[in-house]
Structure 1
Amino acid sequence: MSALEIENIRKTYGKTEILKDIDISLDSGEFLVLLGSSGCGKSTLLNIIAGLTEASGGDIRIDGRSMLGVHPKDRDIAMVFQSYALYPNLTVHRNIGFGLEMRGVRADDRERAVRETARLLQIESLLDRKPSQLSGGQRQRVAIGRALVRQPKIFLFDEPLSNLDAKLRMEMRAELKRLHRLLRTTVVYVTHDQIEAMTLASQIAVMRDGRIEQLGTPEEIYNHPATLYVATFVGAPPMNLLKTEVREGTLAVTGGESSLPIPQSLRASLREGQDVIVGIRPEAFRLDDGEGLSISARCELAELTGPELIMMADMQGQRVVASLPPQSRVGPGDILRLHFDNAAMHLFDATSGKRIAT
């Protein structure tokens, strides 16, 4: 039995559809990330799971039990919000244990649970402080501890790291990963940050305009994007998209004389004259003269980020971005041959935006 089942969930406000037939089944202990840009419906879906928003149609089941009409406090879930929402007049100890206190848990049991939670989160030395005496990362740990101490069936996180700086976000990602590996609790996590999604999730649901564009493991989402939207949303820098047309058994690059071979496994899926988008990840390019395919491009800009050199180039009027080793010697105006393997090509139908599969 799945820990969480989301079945045909719809949400409308008047004539505006916010969620459109969302279906997800999540096994116990999985970490699901709802990934998408602002306004795609991911936080609305999280609120429906929590019972804070009522769905217009469909059902939510936790451990096989329908949540229709069930009050949020009776769903055995815990939620961590973007804002820490700590009680400023209470100590860390009281903040973590407040929910247990309101439920009438005995003082000694409450003390034991708070101490164990603080140990897991490595904030034992902060229990006597108040929120105003804590850093942003420490406050977020306390907010997580307040949810963790209840030992719920499902954790819900609504962009919990977005208020932290880059270094703290990286530290808290590692902390969440460690806690999930230790506790194996089912998690649903909302974010627009693809790095968070790729590093934390066991399953990613990429959402767009109230629908799920693709649901799969991080490896599936990255290596086999189902649509052009997924291909460009996941990956930094995003995937290069080259406009081509099927012409005499090749993929003729729009606006120039270059062409690329059609992978043998996809020949039967294409037709003469079809407009095809060829996707190539920036890190798939290399400057050496090894085996494989290549394109010619003129460097327009090269930026050293430290671990890599990001080069933006022009290929017959189309923008190409390559992620190269930091020691690469390239500069504006250089004409380069960018090599890549056949397997690095992702083909999409230009009309539907869907991946062309065998």
Structure 2
Amino acid sequence: MSALEIRNIQKRYGDVETLKGIDIALESGEFLVLLGSSGCGKSTLLNIIAGLAEPSGGDILIGERSIVGAHPKDRDIAMVFQSYALYPNMSVARNIGFGLEMRKVPPAEREKAVRETARLLQIENLLDRRPSQLSGGQRQRVAIGRALVRNPRVFLFDEPLSNLDAKLRMEMRTELKRLHQMLKTTVVYVTHDQIEAMTLATRIAVMRDGRIEQLGTPAEIYDRPATLYVAGFVGSPPMNILDAEIGGDQLRIAGSDELLPLPQDFKRTAVPGGRVKIGIRPEALRLANAGASGVRLIADVEVMELTGPELVTTAKVGEQRVTACLPPRTPLIAGSTQVFSFEEAALHLFDPESGRSLRAP
């Protein structure tokens, strides 16, 4: 039995279809991240689960019970908002326990639950303060504590870290990961930040235009992208996408004399003479040493950017550009011609019309 099941959820506003049939089944303890750019429908789906919006079609079940039409307070869920939504006139302790207070939980039991939650979040020393006396990270902990203290069946997070600076965002990601591993809670988490998705999720649903482009583990999404959109959206820098043609057992990169082998995984689905899109992740590329194994690719170096841990290098293959993530002390000169290499398994092929991966099932 799934902890949360989303069945063919649709949402329309007049003639505009925001969600076009979403199906996801979540087991107890899973951490699902809804990942996508603004306007893809991820927050709309979260609001429908929360009861803040009603679907135009489909059903949502928590356990075996349909919650469509149920009041938000009767859904056994808790939601953490992007804006924290704390009561400014209440102490941290009362903010955390206010939901229990509304449910008439006895004061002694309520105080015990608040203190236990504060201990988990390491904010015991803040219980007497007001929200205005807290930092952004502390306020976010209080908002999470207000959700945790209720011990609901499902937790919903709507871009909870987007208001934090980069350092604090990283710290809170670690904190959320720690809490999930400790409590084994069921979570649906909305973000447009792929780093949050990759580090937090047990599964990721990449959304685009109201549909799910791909649903899988972070490793599946990263290593075997199902579409060009997923390949380009997940990864930083994004996957290199090059135009090419198939000739026998080889791929010719458009606008150049470069020939690459046709990977075994794609031989049954690739059409000889047809056009394809080739995908290669920047971190798969390396400078080829004498006697190095792997597929070779000759490119003209244009720009190098040292980020600290890596040298992000942009080069041209014919008229097309590729990015390579190289070790930081790699000796390169702009304008030089270099031989890069990569393993054949790092090649991805996509249909240029549908955008779907051509990998054989």
Q: How would you bin the TM-score normalised by the shorter chain?
A: over 0.9
Output the CA distance in 2 between the equivalents of 1:216 and 1:265: 19
1:244 corresponds in structure 2 to 244
Partner secondary structure for residue 237 of structure 1: coil
User: Counterpart of 2:49?
Assistant: 49
**Which amino acid is the alignment partner of residue 264 of structure 2?**
Q
Tell me the CA shift for residue 264 of structure 1. Answer: 2.7
Q: Partner residue of 1:329?
A: 331
CA deviation after TM superposition for structure 1 residue 248, in Å: 3.4
Report the Cα offset of residue 294 of structure 1: 1.1
Q: Which runs of structure 2 are paired with 1:160-309 in the superposition (5 Å)?
A: 160-289=160-289, 290-309=292-311
1:161 counterpart SS class: coil
Q: In the alignment, does 2:354 pair up with 1:352?
A: yes
Letter in structure 2 aligned against 1:107 = P
Contact 2:36–2:191 (CA<8 Å) still a contact in 1?
yes
The number of residue pairs the alignment matches comes to 358
C-alpha separation in 2, matches of 1:265 and 1:92 = 56
TM-score by length of structure 1 reads: 0.99
Residues 60 and 66, structure 2, Cα contact 8 Å, conserved in 1: yes
User: 3-state SS of the aligned residue for 1:268?
Assistant: coil
Q: Deviations over 1:309-355 (max 9, x none)?
A: 00011110101000000010113111111110101101111111100
The aligned counterpart of 1:62 is 62
Looking at structure 1, the residues matched to 274 and 351 of structure 2 have their Cα atoms a distance apart, in angstroms, of 8
Which residue is equivalent to 2:24?
A: 24
Quick check: 2:34–2:188 contact (8 Å CA) kept in 1? yes
Letter in 2 for 1:302: M
Deviation, 1:265, is 3.5
Report the residue type matching 1:114 in the other structure.
V
Q: Which amino acid aligns with 1:279?
A: G
- The 1-side partners of 2:265 and 2:228 are apart by 20
Counterparts of 2:264 and 2:125, CA distance in 1: 62
Residue 110 (structure 2) pairs with residue 115 (structure 1): no
> What CA deviation, in whole Å up to 9, does each residue of 1:118-152 have, x standing for no partner?
00000000001111111000000000001110000
Aligned mates of 2:153, 2:264 — CA distance in 1: 48
With the length of structure 2 as denominator, give the TM-score of the two structures.
0.98
Cα shift at 1:102: 1.1
Aligned to 1:79: 79
Rounded to whole Å, the distance in 1 between the matches of 2:225 and 2:343 is 18
The residue matched to 1:269 in structure 2 has which SS? Answer: coil
Percent identical:
68
Amino acid at match of 2:208: R
Question: Is the 8 Å Cα contact of residues 61 and 67 (structure 2) preserved in structure 1?
Answer: yes
Query: What CA distance in whole angstroms lies between the structure 2 residues aligned with 1:263 and 1:92?
Result: 58
Q: Write the letter of the residue equivalent to 1:143.
A: A
CA contact (8 A) 1:275 1:351 kept: no
Alignment deviations for residues 49-91 of structure 1 (CA, whole Å, 9 cap, x no partner) = 0111000000000001111211100000000000011111111
Assess if the C-alpha contact under 8 Å between 2:288 and 2:296 holds in 1. no
Paired residue type of 1:259: L
In 2, the alpha carbon distance for the partners of 1:108 and 1:229 equals 53
C-alpha displacement of 1:22 = 0.3
Q: 2:177 is matched by which residue type in structure 1?
A: K
CA distance in 1, matches of 2:96, 2:265: 56
Matched residue of 2:222: which SS?
Answer: helix
Letter in 1 for 2:142: V
By how many angstroms is 1:263 displaced? Answer: 1.4
C-alpha displacement of 1:95:
0.6
Specify the alignment match of 1:318 in structure 2: 320
Once superposed, what is the RMSD of the aligned Cα atoms?
A: 0.8
Give secondary structure in 2 for the equivalent of 1:236. Answer: coil
Q: What's the offset of the Cα at 1:273?
A: 1.8
Gaps of 5+ in 1: none
Deviations 1:12-70 (A, max 9, x none): 00000000010000000000000000000000000000111000000000001111211
SS at 2:128 equivalent:
coil
SS at match of 2:182: helix
Q: What's the CA shift for 1:103?
A: 1.0
Unaligned runs of 5+ in 2: none
Equivalent in the alignment of 1:129: 129
Deviation above 6 Å: which 4+ runs of structure 1?
none
3-state SS in 1 of match to 2:268: helix
Cα deviation, residue 249, structure 1: 3.0
How far off its partner does 1:189 sit?
0.1
Letter in 1 for 2:246: V
